[in-house]
Chain A
Amino acid sequence: MIGIIQYGAGNIFSLTAALDRLGIRYGMISHESDFEQYDRYIIPGVGHAGAAMGKLENTGLVPAIRQLKKPVLGVCVGMQLITAFSEEGNAGLLNIVPVKTLRFQEDTSLKVPHTGWNRVYSRETDDLFKGIDQDAYFYFVHSYFIEYNNLYTLASTQYGIEFSAAIRKDNFFGVQFHPEKSGSAGETLLKNFAHL
């Protein structure tokens, strides 16, 4: 059963709706004592990474999150939170995965936010991407991205530069796209996470 970490950053209606459609059970985490009821966790999030980090710190859940040994999936800003730093608000983040969250360059002629369906190249066969084409389309909408890293990038996407569409360090996973909005590929990924 998945525990969704509640800290007030954005709506989770679409995420829980997707889990409902897939028959994946979940509950909400707002206190440290809630963690033990679940065998895996999702950190959701939309909006401003710096502001989201502030809200997460206010919950008092940060020390418990750092110590989690069961699978954790950060989605969008929830993924950015497990990195070290974001240029959005020049904020220090959880630093579970030592990579940075950067802004798409204004001086490129690429439009920002990066909005729409882009190909996600999963670098290796990881159970999170099991059964998903290695160049499948997922839905993105974001102005900040996580830099590509040889050690931690699980899947990459090209938008002006190559960035991390998914990262992993040990039991911590993150995806920049929205699996709950990414058609059948996204649903497969959520199912994979539920069975890791």
Chain B
Amino acid sequence: MEEINLSKNSPSGNLAKRIVPCLDVKDGRTVKGVNFVDLRDAGDPVELAWQYSQQGADELVFLDITATYERRKTMVELVKAVARNVNIPFTIGGGINEIADADILLNSGADKISINSAAVRNPELIDQLAKTFGVQFVVIAVDTRCVGNQNLVHLNGGRIATEHETFKWIKEAESRGAGEILLTSMDHDGTKAGFDCGFLKQVNNQIGIPLIASGGAGNQQHFVDVFKDAGVDAALAASVFHYGEILIPDLKQTLKNNQIEVRL
């Protein structure tokens, strides 16, 4: 990849780096186990979302993996319940294929929608969504895996490789109207060995829209590294938060101690 040296070091004021817990939801219930001590119902995504907002999460991502025909209905109910109860922004993703899906989620209180495979299958969808709802509503989620010496976009949770070179696809998504990129390194996801700072930095330095890093968070230092080394705007994680391995107030304090701008 050609390395263009665009500096992102200019003064972004006090714009805080964002910490983003991600919740997988199926049929209206959270999928992965969560062990907060004071939870009444660990499967209730709304209660979890509220807990995270109280702990200082900056925004939330819900990934709906419902596979039934009831999918749209359960997503809308989830979004409405979250919007009623939570006072921070949130993104909903999973199976959004057309303008009508996005429209109903917007009107139910979603701040952003995340599109993954539907955008790969039909890139024109990005243009349509941006034109209809504004770029600020459109997050393009990209799952990447290293194959040989190439980063390729993958679908279905990293199982299916596409012919899209990841960086080129991200630039295309940006030019079509993505307002933000959620980049998950499938090689790092689940390893707890740290984010893919090298690749994230390359991408971050060459796009003009915010970048959310995902995949590999295992400890607090990994978040320090991804903000310091890669310079990303936000970092997403799931299990380290759900299992209480990293508490968000502690993480924020650690970031602050490392001179990283955070909202405390």
Contacts and interface: CB of A to CB of B under 8 A. Distances in A.
Interface of A: 10-11, 13-14, 17-18, 20-21, 46-48, 106, 108-119, 135, 137, 139, 141-143, 157-160, 178, 180-184, 186-187
Interface residues of B, number: 40
20 contacts: A13-B107, A17-B83, A17-B109, A20-B84, A21-B87, A46-B136, A46-B137, A111-B233, A113-B179, A115-B180, A118-B16, A137-B263, A142-B136, A143-B136, A158-B14, A159-B15, A178-B89, A180-B87, A181-B89, A183-B88
Contacts of B234: 116
B6 interface: yes
Given A110-B10, A159-B12, 14 more contacts: A10-B106, A13-B108, A14-B83, A46-B134, A108-B10, A111-B207, A117-B15, A118-B15, A119-B14, A157-B13, A160-B10, A160-B13, A181-B89, A184-B87
A48 B133 CA distance: 9
- Residues of A contacting B: mostly: mixed
Nearest to A18: B87
A154 to B, nearest CB: 17
A129 B88 CA distance: 19
Contacts of B207: 111
Interface in B134-154: 134-137
A109 B7 contact: yes
B116 interface: no
- Residues of B contacting A: mostly: loop
Contacts of A20: 84
B47 interface: no
B204 to A, nearest CB: 9
A21 to B, nearest CB: 7
Nearest to A15: B109
A107 B85 CA distance: 39
Contacts of A135: 14
Nearest to A139: B89
Pairs of residues from A and B, 7 with the lowest C-beta to C-beta distance, nearest first: A158-B13, A13-B109, A119-B14, A137-B263, A117-B16, A141-B136, A117-B263
Contacts of B111: 14, 141, 181
Contact of A117 (B10, B18, B109, B208): B18
Contacts of B10: 108-110, 160
A163 to B, nearest CB: 10
Contacts of A111: 8, 12, 207-210, 233
